[in-house]
Amino acid sequence: MDIQGKNALITGSSRGVGQQIALGLARLGCNIIVHGSQPSSNDKTLELLESFPIQTYSVHGNLADDQEVKALIHQVNNLNFPIDILYNNAGIMKDYHEDIWSHSTDEWMDTYKVNVVAMYQLCAAFVPAMIENNFGRVVNVTSRISGQPQLAPYGASKWAVDKLSQDLAVALENTAVRLNYFDPTWLKTDLGGEHADNPVEAVLPGALKPVLVENDGPNGQFFSAF
């Protein structure tokens, strides 16, 4: 699949896994829309992308805030070109609780807002145009975390990502839009921590596989970095 010249929006691409995905897609000739919580958050990724013969753009917004999600969508629409690739990478993990019964309502709600609800909102904003344009790739980042009630909101939200992805993919079966979900595995990032199995760079090339499927390829399927 040749994706040179396609336009890719990668949430949470100011650092970590999202930054690596941005670099990987840039190497394949994609124009990159970098997203971070604040405009200044994107500076490093934009600097890293300068060496590629592509167009780059910067958008921002806190995905836990409904109004900021709407503003983010407005920023992207103001660029006045189609979003061909939506990589829903952004995610949060709240504090580790030894007392597994102490996760607060705010922790649950914030986690779901970022990890699930904003993902759905961005799909709703950009997938219909992908269908009309007869091309689109959506990748939702999930996790195979298990047996960690100390991180219950995060784990539950990632299972919700799986179900959301499977259900949305059904609506795309007879289109040229493919929606799949991807586990980067346990990597050394701000979220994964220093004791993770692999460096963040190891997410490539696996993270690109669900983008490079053919128009009639896997849909509603699980991918992993390894």
Instruction: Answer yes or no: is pLDDT of 35 > 90.
Output: yes
For range 12-30, the mean pLDDT: 97
Identify whether 163 is part of a domain. yes
Which residues contact residue 170 at a Cβ distance below 8 angstroms, ignoring those fewer than 6 apart? 220
Identify whether 68 is part of a domain. yes
pTM of the model: 0.95
- Chain CA centroid to CA 194, Å: 22
The mean pLDDT of the chain is 96
Identify whether 215 is part of a domain. yes
Instruction: Answer yes or no: is pLDDT of 185 > 90.
Output: no
Identify whether 111 is part of a domain. yes
Q: What is the pLDDT of residue 153?
A: 98
> For the domain that residue 87 is a member of, what is the CATH number?
3.40.50.720
63, 87, 94, 76: which is closest to 13 by C-alpha? 87
Identify whether 191 is part of a domain. yes
What strands, in cross-sheet order, belong to the sheet with 56-60?
56-60, 31-36, 7-10, 85-88, 136-141, 177-183, 222-224
Q: What is the pLDDT of residue 56?
A: 98
Identify whether 80 is part of a domain. yes
Identify whether 1 is part of a domain. no
Identify whether 2 is part of a domain. no
Tens digit of each residue's pLDDT (9 = 90 or more) over 42-98:
999 999 999 999 999 999 999 999 999 999 999 999 999 999 999 999 999 999 999
Instruction: Answer yes or no: is pLDDT of 156 > 80.
Output: yes
Backbone angles phi, psi at 93, to 5 degrees: -130, 125
Structure tokens at 189: 């990032």
Q: How many residues does the chain have?
A: 226
Q: What is the pLDDT of residue 165?
A: 98
Q: Which domain holds residue 142?
A: 7-224
142, 149, 141: which is closest to 21 by C-alpha? 141
- Indicate the number of domains in the chain: 1
* Residue-by-residue DSSP string for 177-194: EEEEEEE--SEESTTT-T
